Structure 1
């Protein structure tokens, strides 16, 4: 893989990133990323998941490489390639839309209808130092086609648990699409989500990448899943949306 300047990690950081591993074989390694950790880059002066991958560096200085990203406040499955051929294979698979990503999200009320497709173009907009996405007409300069599917899994008087699947990979796509149909994600300040739910403060953006199905470089398909983190399952339970979800 790419040779870069190694990042110095503490013993606690190495132990943490190793504890997040949910699948590993000769070609790939998958993590259950916690919320609040940037995948790559970002302006916060703290180690990203990409930095923490130095914990898996080999003696020749090569280390795994992330093949996709999650927003900083989104938790769940994220995949890295352990070899250059695996990285190339998975990069092509992503371009061909052969990865199936499934998310769980909390919203303040059940969508109407309870399931459906959202197929609207998005355009990137810079406001100060922040980047946003907004719904745009198909002929807007810079607009990109984007499509997501949603399905309501449980609902109550205080909110709903929805399953989301993106068919394209635009920045903030699921967040903007759900806001577009009037159901912004709880805790999503940027796109109009509620800061409280069921009388409790939302601890963060309530979006979790629960599973990823991908073609494996060695053949066949693999599905990797990440149980719900405690903050997500606790808020879901407080909204009377069930408490029996698999925990991370």
Structure 2
């Protein structure tokens, strides 16, 4: 946590666990903002989505992650074959995810695409940064949904579709456009940070193929901000 030394972990307790869907192979969970996906190294960072799910579903394993500050939908596998099948869908980009974010400033274009390679900003980890020499290719599609003035500041609500799945991709790509996500403790400037007590980024929808039936299935959850 080099970039955020004064961080105190206070995971939300209500709802403790919000399971959206469950079958024999997998479970889809709605993660609240402020809860780690997997346990951290320190003893006080053991409360996390994985451990909460494992209390009721001991075989559940993490296939992908959401940043602690991001809320929304996450798939966990309940069997090894399901874990392999879902991981393969991620590798082959067969899983579609849609996020909602409120960003600082007015997004001028109704829609667009960000193609900027990302790499870990090592001295300031866990922050990521754009690096055209060493970064990994990263693509995000965005669509403006509305504009609103909050406490005298212009903001835009955007729908974000990550084509790649890099760490902090949506946060850094929006920042690169000059529109940091509200409440982003790592990347927002003081004005954007002050407008929200949480990161206003929510994994609203996820669409994938059920491992056994190969049926395409889509889940969505309302945006909490």
Q: For the superposition of Structure 1 and Structure 2, which TM-score range results when normalised by the shorter chain? A: 0.7 to 0.9
1:97 corresponds in structure 2 to 93
- Give the C-alpha shift of residue 189 in structure 1: 2.7
1:42 and 2:40 aligned:
yes
Instruction: Look up the match of 1:235.
Output: none
Aligned-partner SS, 1:195: helix
From 156, 162, 175, the counterpart of 2:158: 162
Deviation at 1:225, TM superposition (A): 1.1
Q: Which runs of 5+ in 1 are unaligned?
A: 1-12, 233-248
Partner Cα separation in structure 2 for residue 164 and residue 85 of structure 1: 30
Candidates 109, 126, 136, aligned match of 1:144: 136
Alignment TM-score, normalising by the size of structure 1: 0.77
Q: Which runs of 4+ in 1 moved over 6 A?
A: none
Deviations 1:13-64 (A, max 9, x none): 7x822xx00111121101110011000133561311111122223xxxx511
Separation (CA, whole Å) in 1 of partners of 2:79 and 2:197: 36
* 2:78 pairs with one of 75, 82, 86: 82
Q: How does 1:1-248 map to 2 (within 5 A)?
A: 16-17=16-17, 20-43=18-41, 45-46=44-45, 47-57=47-57, 62-127=58-123, 130-137=125-132, 140-141=133-134, 143-157=135-149, 158-193=154-189, 194-197=192-195, 202-218=196-212, 219-229=214-224, 232=225
The CA deviation at 1:213 is 0.4
| 3-state SS of paired residue (2:65) | coil
Mean Cα displacement is larger for which, 155-164 or 170-179? Answer: 155-164
Contact 1:56 1:63 in 2 (8 A): no
RMSD: 1.8
Match of 2:3 in 1: none
Which whole-Å CA distance do the structure 2 matches of 1:223 and 1:36 have between them? 25
Work out the number of aligned pairs and report it. 204
Structure 2 SS opposite 1:131? coil
Deviations 1:151-176 (A, max 9, x none): 00111343111000100010000000
